[in-house]
Amino acid sequence: MLPPRWVRRVIITPIAWVIILALVVVMPVALLIALIASAFGSGRLRAPRVLWMATVYLALEAIALVVLLGLWIGSGFGWRLNGPRFQRVHYVLTGLYLRILYRTARWALRVRVEVIGTDPDIAAPGKPELVFCRHAGPGDSFLLIHALVNWFDREPRIVLKSTLQWDPVIDVMLNRLPSRFIKLRHRGAGAEDEIAVLATGLDENDALVLFPEGGNFTPIRRLKAIDRLNRLGLHAMAQKAEQMRNVLAPKPGGTLAALDAAPGAEVIWVAHTGVDKMLTMADVWRELPLETTIMMRWWSVDAAEVPRGREERVEWLFEWWARIDQWIEDHRP
């Protein structure tokens, strides 16, 4: 159970910062030992690569928490945090944080990213966007937000799981920006209402980000999603989900709530493949260095082309998800 916000700010975050700083201090020693030991290994430098990524990540966490504290003080102890100036500063900080992580991953893990298809800001210049992305593989949400912030200069509003607030930087940063942390037990009408509020009032550089599957793809979760549809009596949707081998059946509630709340927004569909078969940490360790290209495909749909009726929109969502599934099948490395 996640503690209340004041407990996280006053007690947990300071303790986490001290622990993170201590880990950063000892990490160079661990990295040196790993480099020496790797001379007798396979030559793939798995441990040094992981330790270097961990070092950079922890250092960024420690620095970001100090900067965030400074911004809180500079805003009048939180008084002006919601103002446009401080909101923009937080998006710039988010972009810098993700850009460093991305470059580190490219170098240490040997990962490249290739974006094909529609450039969202060519398709929808100066218009709000609803971005619906499949969810699979380690770090895909970080990559998507990095793309939106650093490549397309968007200010994303993100829907994510409440458990991610255990990460102190995600907790502090995204609770200051327009985001919604959805509790697993509160999914349904309550979550849809929160998504609708988040999607309301999008401006020309905003992008609401939603993962319609509701979780990372695994074969077991795919079967559970199909079984859930059958238990609800939605047999036609279950049959469609059975035909999709690479994605989970999308949950229409959040998607429909976002479409209803932002009728003038362009819709961006995002698919990716390259690391989606890495389901566990053991899978990632076995594949290091990854030596792979993550391919991302973006499709843009004009707001005028979005179906109006609820049933038509559900059908439309499943059609797009089937299209994403087929694209993944065709482009998987």
DSSP state of 10: I
Residues 3, 6: Cα–Cα separation, whole Å: 8
Query: How long is the chain?
Result: 333
For residue 119, pLDDT beyond 70: no
Mean pLDDT within 76-85: 93
Q: How far is CA 292 from CA 47, 168, 217, 274, 276, in A?
A: 18, 30, 19, 7, 12
Residues 62, 17 contacting (CB under 8 angstroms): yes
pLDDT score for 115: 86
Q: In the chain, where does DSSP find H-type helix?
A: 5-7, 13-38, 46-74, 84-109, 120-123, 140-146, 168-176, 189-199, 219-231, 235-243, 252-261, 281-287, 310-331
Residues 30, 33: Cα–Cα separation, whole Å: 5
Exposed (0-12), middle (13-18) or buried (19+): which is 99, by Cβ within 10 Å?
A: middle
Q: What is the pTM of this model?
A: 0.93
For residue 122, pLDDT beyond 60: no
For residue 124, pLDDT beyond 70: no
If we measure between CA atoms, which residue out of 164, 6, 176, 151 comes closest to residue 89? 176
Please report which confidence band the pLDDT of residue 288 belongs to, taking 50, 70 and 90 as the band edges: confident
Query: What phi and psi values does residue 157 have, to the nearest 5 degrees?
Result: -110, 120
Place of tokens 């805003």: 75
Q: Give the dihedral sign, CA 221/226/232/237.
A: positive
For residue 138, pLDDT beyond 80: no
pLDDT score for 277: 77
Higher-scoring residue by pLDDT: 275, 21: 21
pLDDT score for 290: 80
Please report which confidence band the pLDDT of residue 24 belongs to, taking 50, 70 and 90 as the band edges: very high
Higher-scoring residue by pLDDT: 102, 281: 102
pLDDT, tens only, 238-253: 999 999 999 999 999 9
The strand pairing partners of 161, in sequence order, are 182
Q: Which residues contact 323 (CB under 8 A, 6 or more apart)?
A: 269
Please report which confidence band the pLDDT of residue 304 belongs to, taking 50, 70 and 90 as the band edges: very high
Q: In this structure, what is the dihedral angle of CA atoms 95, 97, 103, 109, given to the nearest 10 degrees?
A: -130
Tokens of 192: 């849809």
For residue 152, pLDDT beyond 70: yes
Please report which confidence band the pLDDT of residue 213 belongs to, taking 50, 70 and 90 as the band edges: very high
Query: What phi and psi values does residue 210 have, to the nearest 5 degrees?
Result: -140, 140
Residues 270, 298 contacting (CB under 8 angstroms): yes
Query: What phi and psi values does residue 11 have, to the nearest 5 degrees?
Result: -115, -60
Mean pLDDT value across the chain: 91
pLDDT, tens only, 7-20: 999 999 999 999 99
Please report which confidence band the pLDDT of residue 186 belongs to, taking 50, 70 and 90 as the band edges: low
pLDDT, tens only, 305-327: 999 999 999 999 999 999 999 99
Tokens of 238: 């279950």
If we measure between CA atoms, which residue out of 157, 158, 129 comes closest to residue 268? 129
Share of the chain above pLDDT 70, in %: 95
Q: Which residues contact 205 (CB under 8 A, 6 or more apart)?
A: 126, 153, 154, 155
Residues 246, 217 contacting (CB under 8 angstroms): yes
pLDDT score for 278: 80
